[in-house]
Chain A
Amino acid sequence: MSKLERDLEALSAYLDGELTENERERIERLLETDQDLQNWYEQLMRTRSVLRSTPQLRAPRNYFLTPEMVGQKEKRGRAFPILRFASAFAALLLVVLFLGDLFVIPKPVLAPSRAIQMAEAVQMEMEQPEMEAEIFADQPAAAPAEPLAEEFQMEGESAAEAADENISSSMDSASTMEKALPTQYPAPAEEVEPMLGGAAEPELESDQVLESRAPTELIEDESQQGLDFQAIIRIAEFGLLFIVITTGIAAFYLYLRSRSF
Chain B
Amino acid sequence: MDEAGLIKDAQQGDLDAFNRLILAYQDRVYNQAFRVLGDSQSADDAAQDAFISAYKNLRSFRGGSFRAWLLRIVTNACYDELRRRKRRPTTPLEPVDDEGDEIESPHWIADPGELPEDNIVRSELGDAIQECLDRLPEDFRVVVVLVDVQGLDYLEASDVIGKPLGTIKSRLARARNRMRECLQGFWELLPHSMRLET
Q: Which A positions have Cβ atoms within 8 angstroms of B?
A: 8-9, 11-13, 16, 18, 42-67, 69-72, 258-261
Contacts and interface: CB of A to CB of B under 8 A. Distances in A.
Given A59-B29, A258-B13, 15 more contacts: A8-B177, A9-B169, A43-B180, A46-B190, A46-B194, A47-B176, A56-B27, A59-B26, A59-B30, A63-B51, A64-B19, A71-B56, A72-B13, A259-B13, A260-B12
Contacts of B65: none
A50 B183 contact: yes
B166 to A, nearest CB: 9
Closest 5 CB pairs of A and B: A51-B148, A12-B173, A260-B13, A259-B13, A9-B173
Contacts of A60: 30, 40, 44
Interface in B141-198: 144, 147-149, 151, 153-154, 165, 169-170, 172-174, 176-177, 179-180, 183, 190-191, 194-195, 197-198
A65 B180 contact: no
Contacts of B34: 57
A248 to B, nearest CB: 21
A49 B194 contact: yes
A48 B148 contact: yes
B19 A65 contact: yes
Nearest to A1: B170
A52 B113 CA distance: 23
Interface residues of B, number: 52
B197 A45 contact: yes
Contacts of A62: 22-23, 26
B13 A51 contact: no
A145 to B, nearest CB: 86
A183 B45 CA distance: 114
Contact of B169 (A18, A53, A55, A59): A18
Contact of A63 (B13, B47, B144, B153): B47
A151 B68 CA distance: 99
A67 B55 CA distance: 11
Given A65-B18, A260-B12, A59 B27 contact: yes
Nearest to B187: A46
Contacts of A258: 13
**Which residue among B13, B26, B52, B149 has the maximum number of chain A CB atoms within 10 Å of its CB?**
B13
B162 to A, nearest CB: 18
A188 B139 CA distance: 118
A259 B48 CA distance: 20
B31 interface: yes
A261 B18 CA distance: 14
28 contacts: A8-B173, A9-B169, A9-B170, A9-B173, A11-B173, A13-B154, A13-B172, A18-B153, A18-B154, A18-B165, A44-B176, A45-B198, A49-B197, A52-B149, A53-B194, A54-B129, A57-B30, A58-B27, A59-B26, A59-B30, A59-B47, A62-B26, A63-B30, A64-B19, A64-B22, A65-B22, A65-B55, A72-B15
